[in-house]
Amino acid sequence: MSTPQPTFENYDAYIGGLFALEDGILQGTRTTMQAAGLRPINVSPTGGRLLQLLALMIGAERILEIGTLGGYSAIWLARALPPGGKLVSLEIDEHHAAVARHNIAAAGFARTVEVRVGPALTTLTAMQQAGEAPFDLVFIDADKDGYVAYLEQAVALVRSGGLVLADNTLRPDMLDPAGDGGAKRYNAAVATHPALVSTVVPVLRSEGLDGLTISIKQTLP
């Protein structure tokens, strides 16, 4: 057999075959999403594994996700939580939220994951006003134009030493000097944020290269 081409897809399949094999729950989640008419824009298995690993590395017990879709990334993240841990996921679309709740229950996380429906900025503002307990990790993956506004809310809601992550932050328009998409503006904002130490980690996907921006919130002196 000849050696496969060194494409993003083949490298991603290599990593996934070792570290991100889907079980029936994750496969079933994608099947349910497709049947319900949701676009397959969830994180890839290797992307989900990276989220799970980052959450485990900081011992996350409380996670906030912005952009639920069908619950695929939420299930990867919930699998990093200890007993009694909690994930709150924000979603604007009622139909997406219903599909996600079904998948999350099938994964055994009905009591661990709470999907809140509404525009994320409204929900985040309410969470801050309610003085909700700090989160260990915030994963931003909703509308890209909202990313910069979500960043400010995320920094306010995450504990010192906690992580703020953002999906889809390494795309061709980042290289366009005239590009001003939401994810590009997000990267520029974290790069100069006084409370954050950050970088973009390239992530392989079957469609090509993308990125996850990783930021840790520092304790300010």
**Applying CB under 6 A, which residues contact ligand SAH?**
41-43, 67-69, 72-73, 90-93, 96, 119-120, 141-143, 146
The H-or-E segment that residue 123 falls in is helix 120-129
Output 136 or 141, the one with its CB closest to ligand DHB. Answer: 141
**DSSP one-letter code for 4:** P
CA-nearest of 69, 66, 82 to 165 is 66
Q: Which is nearer to ligand SAH, 159 or 205 (CB)?
A: 205
Count of residues that interact with ligand DHB, criterion CB under 6 A? 4
**Residue 186, token pair as written in the block:** 């997000």
Any contact of residue 209 with ligand DHB (CB under 6 A)? no
Q: Select 91 or 141, whichever has its Cβ closest to Mg ion.
A: 141
Does 168 contact ligand DHB by CB under 6 A? yes
Among 85, 127, 141, 164, binds ligand DHB (CB under 6 A): 141
Q: Is 18 in the site for ligand DHB (CB under 6 A)?
A: no
User: In whole angstroms, how close is the CB of 143 to ligand DHB at the nearest point?
Assistant: 8
In the complex, the smallest distance separating the C-beta of residue 2 from ligand DHB, rounded to whole angstroms, is 32
Q: Which is nearer to ligand DHB, 61 or 141 (CB)?
A: 141
β-bridge pairing 208-217 and 158-167: antiparallel
55 binds, among ligand SAH, ligand DHB, Mg ion, none (CB under 5 to 8 A by kind): none
User: How far, in Å, CA of 205 to CA of 56, rounded?
Assistant: 22
What token pair was written down for 176? 């366009």
Cβ nearer to ligand DHB, comparing 61 with 65: 65
CA distance 116 to 130: 15
CA nearest to 109, candidates 146, 135, 138, 71: 71
- Of 147, 144, 180, 33, the closest CA to residue 96 belongs to 33
The three-state secondary structure class of 208 is: strand
Contact set with ligand DHB (CB under 6 A): 41, 141, 167-168
